[in-house]
Amino acid sequence: MDLRELYQEVILDHGKNPRNHRLLEPYNREGRGYNPLCGDRITLRLQLDGDRITDIGFQGQGCAISQASCSTMTEAIKGKTLREAEALFEQFHALVTGEGEADFDELDKLAVFAGVSEFPMRVKCATLGWHTLKHAVEGDGIEAVTE
């Protein structure tokens, strides 16, 4: 099995069995995201304690990439501070757009989305959860639309 197949397997696994897939209760931040190009929708809820994300959950419908990306995102940022989560999004964005240099050590499991940079249409699927996270944290009630 080469790295690409391994990456694909992880994405399919998270797409089929998403982690933290629940409407979190209690929570103090909520965001909704929609990707009209693909039809992906998510609702993301988090529990913020100061600037630390102590718990997170999401529900959604859509393609395997969007759901797997949300799933891996929730695993990656649970327990992290907002600043750490933002830094991780910058790395992830560099990875999936192919713009800038991504730090694979820091990305850890999120590196499985490296192949997305070859499919520009899929970038919006992969970043939907992260954009939704931003709006949820800001508490602005704006739906994250990837267009």
Task: Indicate whether 145 belongs to the interface with Zn ion (CB under 5 A).
Answer: no
Distance CA 134, CA 144 (A): 9
Task: Indicate whether 66 belongs to the interface with Zn ion (CB under 5 A).
Answer: yes
63 vs 94 by CB, closer to Zn ion: 63
Binding mask 96-115 for Zn ion (x = CB under 5 A): --------------------
| Residue 36: count of CB within 10 angstroms of its CB | 11
34 vs 89 by CB, closer to Zn ion: 34
Task: Indicate whether 38 belongs to the interface with Zn ion (CB under 5 A).
Answer: yes
In the block, which residue shows the tokens 């069995």? 17
Task: Indicate which single residue of 14, 20, 31, 40 sits in contact with Zn ion (rule: CB under 5 A).
Answer: 40
In the block, which residue shows the tokens 């529900």? 59
Strand residue runs (E) in the chain: 29-35, 40-49, 52-61, 144-145
Binding residues for Zn ion (CB under 5 A): 38, 40, 62-63, 66, 125
